[in-house]
Structure 1
Amino acid sequence: AVLATGDPLCHGIAPLLIARLGAAKIEVLPAPSTVQLLCARFRKPWQTLRIASCHGADAGEWLPASASPAHGLYRVLRAIALQPLVAVFTGAQNTPARLARALLAVGHGDDLKLSLACRLQLPDEQLFPDLTLAEVAGREFPEPNVLLLERTRAIRPAALGREDVEYRQRAPEKGLITKQEARVLSLAKLHLAADSVVWDIGAGSGAVGLEAAALVPLGHVWAIEKNAGDASNARANAVRFQASNYTLVEGRAPAHLDGWPDPDAVFIGGSGGELAELIERILGRLKPGGRLVMNFVTLENLATATRALAAAGVPWDLVQLQASRSQPILDMHRLAAQNPVWILTARKEEQ
């Protein structure tokens, strides 16, 4: 016989015993689980609750510039991005304070509240209801503990084609950003799935990659930008849109790509002069059936890209997009043309 607390089938020892001995040899007699007790203490209906755990090896602090799906807090950050109520098993290193700091780092604030139960069912049990992230971030709590994360505002819906002005950006005459019209079509051409791994090469202000992140809630976006000012803007935009499944590296592609997982989709908004080499490297890593979408405003870069695709034997299609936006003139309106953009799409054949 094995004595375990709570329900051993919920983040407990039962799965290990079943795997070792076989389900037919196991009888489970559950007690009220930690999650049941947690929700009972705070009187929270939990039929739609999601459970996440960061009870494990020391994950270290969440640093948005280097954090990835391998980080121990990642599953919790993604859970609250998708669900309004999440129960979290904490740990000795991955404490409530560390989790609160991570949530603040990815852009959460008064949109979340946290209720904490410490030393459940022990004589010195303590409850801490409805705390803010800021209140938790610098505080120690008795262990062991478990917590509820609850949204105070609705989850922001996935956006396709946010207004250009919603993004922090360097601002020459027309702004260094993939314009809304080209962004929408490029994202459509990427054919993203909910769990897609996406690369954003030449991220600029981050507009394409961040909208992709919202469209791949179970996936992740890896972005690279060589300009320090643009990289800073992209990180600020990631915080604004609470994109915990977005990692930005400041650097020049194709450096850093070797450390990323193979992509399902790749967007190139800027290449820094190594376009042909970059396309070759990407095609070697792109998953079968994956898509490469590139935006160009010059004939020379377009020609370089089509030659590279032809040399690799990869079929492509091309769209020229030239949009005009209304502008007021006196008490009337006129259409002001934007620069034409070529959207080049290649698809790697299934093996």
Structure 2
Amino acid sequence: MKQVTIAGMGPGSAGCMTQEVCRAVKQADVLIGSERLIAPYTDQRTVKAVTAAEILRVVENEDGEHFTVLMSGDTGFYSGAKKLVEQLNGKYAYRILPGISSVIYFAAKIGVAWEQAQFVSLHGKKQPYLPVIMQNEYTFFLTQGNTAEICTRIAETGLGNVHVWIGENLSYQNEKIMHGSAKELTAYQAAGLSVMAVHNPKPGAFTGTGLPDDCFIRGSVPMTKREIRASVVSRIAPAKNACIYDIGAGTGSVTVELAMQALYGCVYAVERTEEGCSLIVQNAHKFGLDNIQVVHGSAAGVLEELPAPDAVFVGGSGGELEDIFKIILKKNPHVRIVITAVTLETVQEAVRLLEQNGFDTPQIVQIAVTEVKKRGQYHMLSANNPVFIIEGSSVR
């Protein structure tokens, strides 16, 4: 009966392989893996295969009893082992052997404890990483050699002084480790096999909900104020991978805070004014958010082209609230909807549409914020217009 061993080969050199992995390699009838991983084993039968489907075909078609699949790094860290196991389940017996990941090897090399660090893989996918750097002291990257681009983006966001380490060809004889500030390394292009670490000594800036209003770039476009924004975001409560619409996005203040919560999702900021769209782009760039898509136009005219939302915030409907409801409920009948209103007519229409479309009794609150402002030697109360927040979060 054919048996498959999925072996974590470590960062590269044979000296970083565990003894158990070495035995699995030596005892294999067939070694399977990428060209780089199988290249040293010229005295054994090897087959080049990378994807789970390719590897499964090799196991099915090649003669032999013991098949060892070589995986770079550790089998449990951004590895192809997960998809391979899905292919093998119920067909072949298998075991998984861990290895030393390149990131853990690198952490030891630069003397950084990694238990509180965050990890980002940029292998073959676009993943927002600037908010991760902003929110954490240490962030490690598996890069595709695009270190100059990463350092440039970090510096453009105002974090040019954070310390960066870049490790190339780790564990090999030509291993190389560079370090300096992000702005010093904006022109340094590393080799393809590279790992990067970033130390932000003051994490937590520009994170969470209820950011101060003066954090945002503002023009003449209306902006949802801090206290209202915090309540709206808490009611939407987006998942990390949520798809969210911000309709009537204005300057993008709500968009930004939603995008910080849904780091692995996407926030579509729908705004009809050119100035507003420009401000949203500027604020997204300021906060290092790559998971924001600005959509210029009226909601009724552009929503049809967007993917189905998990949640929708309507901060300004432009008189199209009924059309907005029709479109989003067709895309997702179980969508969570939060609406802000400053007139009783909008409140009435929002409640009618929620009830008409099968939502449970909407939750309605009114928030009236009064600030204390200094006028000469006195401190005076300055009241903002009250704002209604209407929430429809479940469907009967």
Calculate the TM-score normalised by the size of structure 1: 0.78
Tell me what 1:254 maps to.
300
- Correspondence 1:7-22 to 2 at 5 A: 7-12=74-79, 14-15=81-82, 17-21=84-88
> Displaced runs of 4+ in structure 1, greater than 6 A?
none
Gaps of 5+ in 1: 57-71
Identity of aligned residues (%): 26
Looking at structure 1, the residues matched to 258 and 85 of structure 2 have their Cα atoms a distance apart, in angstroms, of 39
User: 1:48 deviation in Å?
Assistant: 3.2
Q: Does 2:193 align with 1:144?
A: yes
Could you tell me which amino acid in structure 2 is paired with residue 298 of structure 1?
Answer: T
Shift of 1:349: 0.9
Query: In the alignment, what sits opposite 1:309?
Result: 354
Residue 54 in structure 1 maps to residue 141 in structure 2: no
- Structure 1 residues 133-153: Cα deviation after superposition (integer angstroms, max 9, x where no partner): x34333323332222233232
- What is the alpha-carbon root mean square deviation over aligned residues? 3.2
The equivalent position to 2:107 in structure 1, one of 34, 39, 47, is 39
SS at match of 2:245: strand
Q: CA shift at 1:155, angstroms? A: 2.8
Q: Distance in 1 between matches of 2:163 and 2:333?
A: 40
Partner of 2:63: none
Match of 1:73 among 110, 126, 134: 126
Matches within 5 A, 1:236-247: 236-247=282-293
Check whether the contact 2:128–2:264 (CA below 8 A) recurs between aligned residues.
no
Is contact 2:155-2:161 (8 Å) kept? no
Displacement of 1:168: 2.0
Q: Name which structure has the greater RCO, CA cutoff 8 Å, separation 6+.
A: 1
Deviations 1:52-94 (A, max 9, x none): 32223xxxxxxxxxxxxxxx231545653554323322226xx
2:58 maps to none
Which of 179, 196, 221 aligns to 2:267? It is 221
Separation of aligned partners in 2, 1:32 and 1:166 = 42
SS at match of 1:74: coil
1:99: Cα distance to partner?
A: 2.9
Structure 2, gaps ≥5 residues long: 1-27, 32-37, 39-69
1:337 and 1:348 mapped to 2: Cα distance?
Answer: 33
Task: Provide the secondary structure at the position in 2 that maps to 1:292.
Answer: strand
Give the TM-score of the pair, scaled to structure 2.
0.70
Distance, in Å, in 1 between the alignment partners of 2:192 and 2:243 is 37
| Separation in structure 2 between the aligned mates of residue 189 and residue 17 of structure 1, nearest angstrom | 39
Alpha-carbon distance in 1 for matches of 2:328, 2:195: 43
Among 124, 142, 145, the alignment partner of 1:89 is: 142
Deviations 1:108-144 (A, max 9, x none): 5225332111222333322212341x34333323332
Please name the residue that 2:203 is paired with: 154
What whole-Å deviation, never above 9, does each CA across 1:157-181 have from its counterpart, x for those lacking one? 743323323322224xxx7212233
**Maintained 8 Å contact 1:53/1:76:** no
What's the CA shift string for 1:293-348, capped at 9, x where partnerless? 21222344344434433443434243333333223344223323322323222234
Paired residue type of 1:88: F
